[in-house]
Every structure is written in structure tokens, then in C-alpha cells.
């Protein structure tokens, strides 16, 4: 009697079911794992230098790298975010008060050129009347102002979840540092079996793309947040730290940073401080011009220069699916898709069946 289902089909089915079970059980760890992979890719060249100084002892070098990341990056960011949240809490308390009692139109809004009259009417309609502001917040976010204030006052639970995610990320990052070389060798073996003609290029383009995209975006965002935050403080803007952190986040989005300092400059002009408002706008424009013309083209993208539309889709899609980590995961995934697409188009149709590894761009330049 012939066998109805072959042993190979049963084996493949069991393997697929096992993979689905693994994804189901470990889906909650996807965000910290992706964050750890991004940090590992971005810092791998520096980690290799550290491991060479440690005599090739991977456990020691991984421990030192983790301590350096905690002390030099995570701890300062925690202090900055804590201070910014204290300022944001004051904003929310004012919003709750304005929703309950209404708020008069500030004089600086009335004095704004061209749009002052229109903004005054909108303020009187939606903020000047009690409980009108809460309706707008409910329509936009689905929450009321009292719920938002409770969320701010009970931030401890959200902070605990963020700390747990950070802990899982650091644990994963330690083992990626420690066993990264062996994992890379195993991936090379599997990749050469799946894509024998292209894996040689993919394995070099992908790390360079991830590293340059993440490092470039992060350095530019942090730099613009610090530089413009100091400018806000010099100009006398209230809550300068919170606005600096918000500017750093907005700098990850194309056009976000100029929107921030333009609005704050208009606020300064409206409050009567014409010199500070014009000076802040000029300083922000000069800084943005220098960054966009010199730093951003050399830092972001590496071998893959992302156009505006894929960058925008990557940012919005990443934030929607993964939250804060998606700010980096989204553009990285878009960069990888564009890298794979361009590398796949490099070969002519007649060369698609070539099984020998192709030369890397660096080797091609040397041979030419």
C-alpha cells in the first residue's frame, strides 16, 4: 500500500509548526531583540577594537561594552527624560485646569502677525470655554484629560515596563556581543546555501546600511536636540529641556526639527521678544543648513541613500507597530529592502544562475 503522506512532508509540516510555536511564545520579546540587534550592528566595529584590547576574551569585552553603554548612554538619557517628564507634567496640569475653568487668550497670540486674529477666535471657541478642550482631546486621542493626568501621575507602571524591556535588551545585547562572531559564521553558511550568487554582497551591504542609518539618525537627532535645546534656554523659552527632547524626537522625522524651532520662534515674537525670536530662527536655519549639507549625507544611509518617501513610511510604520523602537527599526527595514532590491537588480538576467560568489564593491574597485 502506497504511503499517502511522505516522510519529508511530515517533517516539513512539523518544522513549520515548531517555528510558528516559537514565534508565538517569543513575540513579546521581539522589540527588545530588534533593539539589541540594531545596537549590536551599530557598535560592532568599536566592539571589535575593544575585544582586541581584551585579548580576544569575548565574555570580558562584552561585559565592558555593556557597562560603557549603561554608563555613557542609558544613564544620561534617563536623567534627561526624567527632567523633561517633570516639565511635561506641568503642561498636563495646566491643560486639566484650562479644561475645567477655561483659559483667557494670551496676549502674544493676539499680537501674532497675519494669523493672530484667527488663532484668537479658535482659542476662545475651544480653550476659552470650560470642557471644550476635553472634547478635542477625546476626539483625537480617545482619552479625556483626567485620564491623561492620571496616566502622568501613575507613570510608574509604564516606567517599570520600559525598564523591563531595557533589561531584556541588555541581556540580549550581551550574548550578541559574546557570541556574535559564531552567529555570523552560521548565518554565512545558511545564506550561501540560500543565495549562493548574492550572499557575498548582501552580507556586506546590510551591516553597513544598518550601522550608518542608525548611527547617523541617532547622532543627528541628539545633536540637534542638544544644540537647539541650549538655544531655547538662551532665548528664555520655558521648559527648554522638554522642548529640546521633543526637538530631538522630531529631528528623526523629515521636517520635524525646523517645524519645532519655527513655532517656538513665533512664540517668542508673539510674546514681544523680537530679538530672541528672530535670533532663534536664524540660528536654527543655519544649523539645519550645515547638518543637511554636510553631516546628514555622510552619516545617514551609508551605501544606501534613503529617499524621502521610504524614510517617511519607515518612520510612521515603525512607530505605529513598535512604538519608540520603531523610529529606528522602520527606516532600517526600509533601507534593507532598498539594499536588497538594488543588489538584485545589479545582475543581468543571464547571470542569475551563477553560483560563484560575486566580488564585493571594495574588491571590484581594487580589481579595476
Count of H-run helices and E-run strands, the chain: 17, 0
- Model pTM? 0.65
Cell 536664524: give the residue.
282
pLDDT of 64 reads 92
The residue whose grid cell reads 557597562 is 67
Tell me which residue of 20, 17, 37, 1 sits closest to 322, measured CA to CA.
37
- Using the CB atoms, write b or e for 3-20: b if 16+ within 10 Å: eeeeeeeeeeeeeeeeee
Residue 265 burial (10 A CB sphere; 0-12, 13-18, 19+)? buried
Pick from 162, 155, 145, 140: nearest CA to 101: 145
What percent of the chain is modeled with pLDDT above 90?
A: 3
- Average pLDDT (130-145) is 64
With vertex at residue 279, the alpha carbon angle to CA 277 and CA 282, rounded to the nearest 5 degrees, is 110
Residue 137 pLDDT more than 70? no
Q: Is the pLDDT of residue 260 over 80?
A: yes
CA neighbor of 219 nearest in space, from 95, 343, 43, 362: 43
Cell 482619552 found at = 143
SS3 content of the chain, % helix, strand, coil (to 5): 80, 0, 20
State the pLDDT confidence band at 138, using cuts at 50, 70 and 90. low
- pLDDT of 220 reads 83
pLDDT in tens, 2-56: 556 666 777 778 888 888 887 777 777 777 887 888 888 878 888 888 888 888 8
Asked whether the beta carbons of 217 and 331 are under 8 A apart, the reply is yes
Lowest model confidence (mean pLDDT) among 31-45, 274-288, 310-324: 310-324
Q: 5-9, 65-69, 186-190: which range is least confident on average?
A: 5-9
**String of b and e for 158-174 (b: at least 16 CB within 10 Å)?**
eeeeeeebeebbbebbb
Amino acid at each position: 500500500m502506497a504511503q499517502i503522506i511522505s516522510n519529508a512532508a511530515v517533517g516539513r509540516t512539523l518544522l513549520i509548526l515548531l517555528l510558528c510555536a516559537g514565534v508565538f511564545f517569543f513575540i513579546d520579546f521581539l522589540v527588545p531583540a530588534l533593539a539589541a540587534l540594531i545596537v549590536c550592528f551599530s557598535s560592532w566595529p568599536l566592539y571589535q577594537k575593544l575585544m582586541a584590547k581584551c585579548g580576544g576574551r569575548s565574555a570580558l569585552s562584552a561585559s565592558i561594552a555593556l557597562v560603557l553603554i549603561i554608563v555613557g548612554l542609558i544613564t544620561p538619557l534617563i536623567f534627561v527624560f526624567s527632567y523633561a517628564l517633570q516639565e511635561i507634567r506641568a503642561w498636563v496640569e495646566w491643560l486639566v485646569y484650562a479644561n475645567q475653568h477655561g483659559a483667557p487668550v494670551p496676549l502674544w497670540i493676539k499680537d501674532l502677525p497675519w494669523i493672530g486674529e484667527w488663532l484668537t477666535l479658535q482659542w476662545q471657541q475651544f480653550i476659552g470655554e470650560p470642557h471644550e478642550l476635553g472634547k478635542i482631546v477625546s476626539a483625537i486621542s480617545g482619552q479625556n484629560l483626567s485620564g491623561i493626568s492620571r496616566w502622568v501621575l501613575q507613570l510608574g507602571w509604564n516606567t517599570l515596563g520600559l525598564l523591563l524591556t531595557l533589561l531584556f535588551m541588555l541581556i540580549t545585547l550581551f550574548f550578541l556581543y559574546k557570541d556574535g562572531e559564531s552567529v555570523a559564521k552560521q548565518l554565512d553558511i545558511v545564506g550561501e546555501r540560500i543565495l549562493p550568487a548574492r550572499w557575498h554582497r548582501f552580507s556586506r551591504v546590510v551591516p553597513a546600511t544598518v550601522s550608518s542609518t542608525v548611527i547617523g539618525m541617532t547622532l543627528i537627532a541628539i545633536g540637534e536636540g542638544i544644540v537647539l535645546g541650549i538655544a531655547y534656554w538662551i532665548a528664555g523659552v520655558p521648559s527648554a529641556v522638554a522642548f529640546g527632547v521633543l526637538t530631538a524626537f522630531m529631528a528623526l522625522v523629515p521636517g520635524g526639527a525646523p517645524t519645532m524651532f519655527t513655532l517656538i520662534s513665533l512664540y517668542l515674537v508673539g510674546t514681544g521678544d523680537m530679538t530672541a525670536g528672530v535670533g532663534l530662527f536664524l540660528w536654527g536655519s543655519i544649523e539645519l543648513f550645515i547638518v543637511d549639507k554636510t553631516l546628514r549625507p555622510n552619516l545617514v544611509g551609508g551605501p544606501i541613500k534613503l529617499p524621502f518617501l521610504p524614510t517617511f513610511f519607515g518612520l510612521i510604520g515603525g512607530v505605529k507597530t513598535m512604538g519608540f523602537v520603531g523610529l529606528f527599526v522602520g527606516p532600517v527595514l526600509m533601507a534593507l529592502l532598498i539594499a536588497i532590491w538594488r543588489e538584485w537588480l545589479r545582475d543581468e538576467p543571464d547571470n542569475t544562475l551563477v553560483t560563484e560568489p560575486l566580488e564585493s564593491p571594495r574588491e571590484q574597485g581594487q580589481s579595476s
